[in-house]
Each structure stands twice: as structure tokens, then as C-alpha cells.
Amino acid sequence: MPIDIQTMLVATDFSEASVPATAYAFSLARALNAHLYVVYVVPEDDIRLITAIRTHLQSDVTPAALVDIFYKEADKRLASLMENAGATDLVHERIIVTGDPATAIMSCAAAKQVQLIIMGSHGRRGVTRFLIGSVAERVLREAPCAVLVVPATTKPADASPAAAT
């Protein structure tokens, strides 16, 4: 039975480790003519930091306005990511959510009924992974669909469906 993937989600944190995963997702979405959701999760800790900075500066700007600015900047970065990769022609939707990254990625995947999640891995091992945790590992274990984890060491030029075969 052939696999017919029509919807995919790629999660990015704008790090160098996410570059190969986004390149692979863009290429795969193009090859399969799939709808792509490009997701960035604003960690809850970042929102707390924004609120603390606002309080410290005694700014008149409300926390909600600061969060809105943060979201708009993240959306600009997602749009730039798509443009720089030459992927603006893809059928896609940019999504920005706040929360625990693994939980938010899985919730978004379930809500959008995606068939494949693509994400990068920083490749941490041992104690570092234990202390920091692994978003990719948790998504891999608990996701409502198939998950493709692209190692940070994958070169973007290698990130094509043909290179994967």
C-alpha cells in the first residue's frame, strides 16, 4: 500500500540544528505536493522573561502587547526562513504557539491532522540530554502520527527525498 502524505508539519527553533530539517521538509512537501505547517513554539519561559523585563523597565507597554510583538517578530522570521529557502511557492501555513515545545508540536499536529512531523535534533547525548531533555525524543515517542527526525549533522544539500533513498 503506497503512503500518501498530504499534510506535514515542520517544527523549527531557528537554530542551526533545525536548518537540515526545514530543508528536508520543504523538499519533501514539494515532491509530494503536500500542505506544510511551519511551526515555531515560543517557550513559556520566554513569555515569563518578556513579562519580567517589562516589569523591570517599568514600561507602559502591556505584557500582551509585548507578546504580540514577539509573535510578529517570530512570524517575520518564519517568512524569511521560507523565502531564503526558496519555499514560498509551497502550500503552507505559518503557526506560532506558546507552551512546552514538545506538547505544543504534538497538539498542533493533532489539531491539524498532519500525517508527518519533521523536526531536527541537536544530537545531545548522555547527561546533557538528561538535564536538558529532548523535544525530538518526546515527540517521537508520543506523537499522533509518523515522525521524521533529521540529525543536525545532515547537510542541507543532502536534504532531499532522492538523497534519502
Q: Does 30 have pLDDT greater than 90?
A: yes
CA atoms within 13 A on the CB side of 68: 5
Higher pLDDT, residue 36 or 88: 36
How much of the chain exceeds pLDDT 70, in percent? 81
47-68 pLDDT tens trace: 777 767 766 666 677 777 878 8
Q: Is the dihedral of CA 49, 43, 41, 78 positive or negative?
A: positive
CATH superfamily of 7-164: HUPs (3.40.50.620)
Dump strand ranges (E) for the chain: 7-12, 35-43, 92-99, 116-121, 146-151
Q: Please give the span between the terminal C-alpha atoms of the chain, in angstroms, as a whole number.
A: 18
Question: Which of 58, 37, 45 has its CA nearest to residue 113?
Answer: 37
Q: How confident is the model at residue 133 (pLDDT cuts 50, 70, 90)?
A: very low
Instruction: Parse the chain into domains and list their residue ranges.
Output: 7-164
80-122 pLDDT tens trace: 999 988 888 998 999 999 899 999 999 999 999 999 999 988 7
Q: Residue ranges of the alpha helices (H) in 93-144?
A: 101-112, 126-132, 135-142
Per the DSSP assignment, residues forming a β-bridge with 36 are 8, 92
Pairing verdict, β 7-12 and 35-43 = parallel
